[in-house]
């Protein structure tokens, strides 16, 4: 039976991994650094890659393979490789595919450490990046150079929850023969599948909604098998592999991803609707609110609106700081996509080192608050936000 024809929920639960002699129902944990060979010929053939088998857990392990197989099925990808963190996935993907002299065109608002890679580290190897405004995707082609190799974006973006039209990005990438890479972390494989719209590779920080319970870090890159082959060879030699234990945890997490995401999104929509009607809130951004500037695009490419709500508190930086201090139930944390709701105020925390002008270039206004809506009783979350806004 091919899992490709099964529903996404089934793909997240049932895998083809062979059982051991104990016929366990749930996939066991293979905590082993290496695997043994039958004889010299088996060892030779294994190293010559004449057979697919596990050799060493830096290359592959039954638990990491099972996790990757599920993500591939859910994303409609040919192949993948799992990493210790989301940033290991981002870094290794670029490092495996780029040469000195290559150029990246990236959305202006990307995850902070990804931005740091582009601005601080890649220039050391003569890899340069140009940024397009996420709200002006029609300008992307102006940034493409003869040496551009990768088009990179996240959607929804962090922390402003802007939406990029993936179909448009897919068309531009195809026309200019670029590798389109989408960091799909905020949407998860349940809500959005960028490969459908022309992405060549999809990256996830599994630390966020895929684990969803704030326990382990992990990352994964899936997509075109020829590109994954390069990423695999780079990674098996440089060592950013996901640990078998974390792979086992993340694979278990996937089994409940669909039901968790349904509830996260139901709660987030209620929080967004509450905020829209609060007098101390200037504006709210949530992909599935009609007021979102890219509502139509969001509806086209996303099954649900996600769990992140951004809003603009009246009164700027000071009001944002006061709001954080009054929060009682929600957590103040840099993480997101947890069962526990989390609030952040980027202008006074994560992005406080930037000038106001630099912040505005990445859509961070002084009063911007980001809520990662969790799985608590939603009225309790709303009550907490309400009292903090008063
Ligand atoms: C958190 C995050 C990352 C990095 O993932 P880690 O697992 O923390 O290394 C990358 N991209 C996005 C969009 C993220 O939110």
Rounded Cα gap, residues 34 and 322, in angstroms: 53
Average pLDDT over residues 152-167: 95
In this structure, the residue with its CA closest to atom 7 of ligand 1 is 86
Q: Is the CB of 269 under 6 A from ligand 1?
A: no
Of 153, 207, 308, the residue with max ligand 1 atoms within 8 A of its CB, to mutate for a pocket test, comes to 207
Q: Is the CB of 222 under 6 A from ligand 1?
A: no
Is residue 290 within 8 Å of 318, Cβ to Cβ? no
State which H helix or E strand residue 291 sits in. Answer: none
- 60 burial level (CB within 10 Å; 0-12, 13-18, 19+): buried
User: What are residue 246's phi and psi, to 5 degrees?
Assistant: -65, -35
**5-35: pLDDT as tens digits:** 889 999 999 887 778 899 999 999 999 999 9
Where does the chain hold its CATH 3.40.640.10 domain(s)? 3-30+61-254
Looking at the DSSP bridge assignments, the partners of residue 331 are 342
Alpha-carbon separation of residue 70 from 3, 196, 199 (angstroms): 9, 17, 18
Q: In 314-377, which residue ranges form alpha helices assigned H by DSSP? A: 316-326, 356-361
Topology, domain 3-30+61-254: 3.40.640
Q: Is the CB of 204 under 6 A from ligand 1?
A: no
**200-258: pLDDT as tens digits:** 999 999 999 999 999 999 999 999 999 999 999 999 999 999 999 999 999 999 999 99
Alpha-carbon torsion 67, 69, 74, 80, what sign? positive
Dig out the tokens for 230 from the structure.
């390069």
Rounded Cα gap, residues 248 and 157, in angstroms: 28
Select from 3.30.390.30, 3.30.70.1450, 3.90.180.10, 3.90.1150.10 the CATH code of 257-389. Answer: 3.90.1150.10
Q: Confidence class of residue 2 from pLDDT cuts 50, 70 and 90?
A: low
**345-367: pLDDT as tens digits:** 988 887 787 788 888 877 788 89
Where does the chain hold its CATH 3.90.1150.10 domain(s)? 257-389
User: What are residue 330's phi and psi, to 5 degrees?
Assistant: -65, 160
In this structure, the residue with its CA closest to atom 12 of ligand 1 is 111
pLDDT at 16: 72
């Amino acid at each position: 039976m091919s899992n490709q024809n099964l529903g996404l929920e089934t793909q997240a639960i049932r895998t083809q991994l062979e059982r051991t002699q104990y016929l366990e129902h749930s996939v066991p944990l293979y905590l082993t650094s290496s695997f043994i060979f039958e004889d010299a010929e088996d060892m030779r053939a294994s190293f010559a890659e004449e057979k697919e088998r596990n050799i060493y857990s830096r290359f592959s392990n039954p638990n990491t393979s099972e996790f990757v197989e599920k993500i591939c099925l859910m994303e409609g990808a040919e192949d993948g490789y799992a990493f210790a963190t989301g940033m290991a996935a981002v870094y290794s993907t670029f490092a495996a595919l780029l040469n000195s002299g290559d150029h990246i065109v990236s959305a202006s608002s990307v995850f902070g450490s990804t931005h740091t890679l582009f601005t601080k580290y890649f220039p050391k190897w003569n890899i340069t990046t140009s940024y397009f405004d996420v709200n002006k995707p029609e300008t992307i082609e102006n940034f493409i150079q003869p040496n551009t190799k990768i088009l990179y974006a996240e959607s929804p973006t962090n922390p402003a929850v802007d939406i990029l039209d993936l179909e448009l990005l897919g068309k531009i990438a195809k026309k200019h023969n670029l590798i389109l890479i989408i960091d799909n972390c905020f949407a998860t494989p349940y809500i959005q599948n960028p490969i459908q719209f022309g992405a060549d590779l999809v990256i996830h920080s599994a630390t966020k909604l895929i684990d969803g319970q704030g326990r382990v870090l992990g990352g994964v890159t899936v997509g075109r098998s020829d590109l994954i082959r390069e990423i695999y060879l780079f990674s098996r030699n440089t060592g950013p592999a996901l640990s078998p234990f974390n792979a086992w945890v993340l694979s278990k997490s996937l089994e409940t991803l669909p039901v968790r995401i349904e509830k996260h999104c139901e709660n987030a929509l209620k929080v967004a609707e509450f905020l829209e009607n609060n007098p101390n809130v200037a504006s709210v951004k949530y992909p599935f609110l009609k007021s979102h500037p890219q509502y139509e695009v969001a509806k086209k490419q996303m099954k649900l609106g996600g769990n992140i709500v951004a809003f603009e508190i009246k009164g700027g930086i000071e009001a944002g700081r006061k709001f954080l201090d009054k929060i009682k139930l929600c957590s103040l944390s840099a993480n997101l996509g947890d069962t526990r709701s989390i609030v952040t105020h980027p202008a006074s925390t994560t992005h406080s080192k930037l000038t106001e002008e630099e912040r505005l270039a990445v859509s961070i206004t002084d009063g911007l608050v980001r809520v990662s809506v969790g799985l608590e009783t939603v009225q309790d979350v709303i009550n907490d936000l309400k009292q903090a806004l008063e």
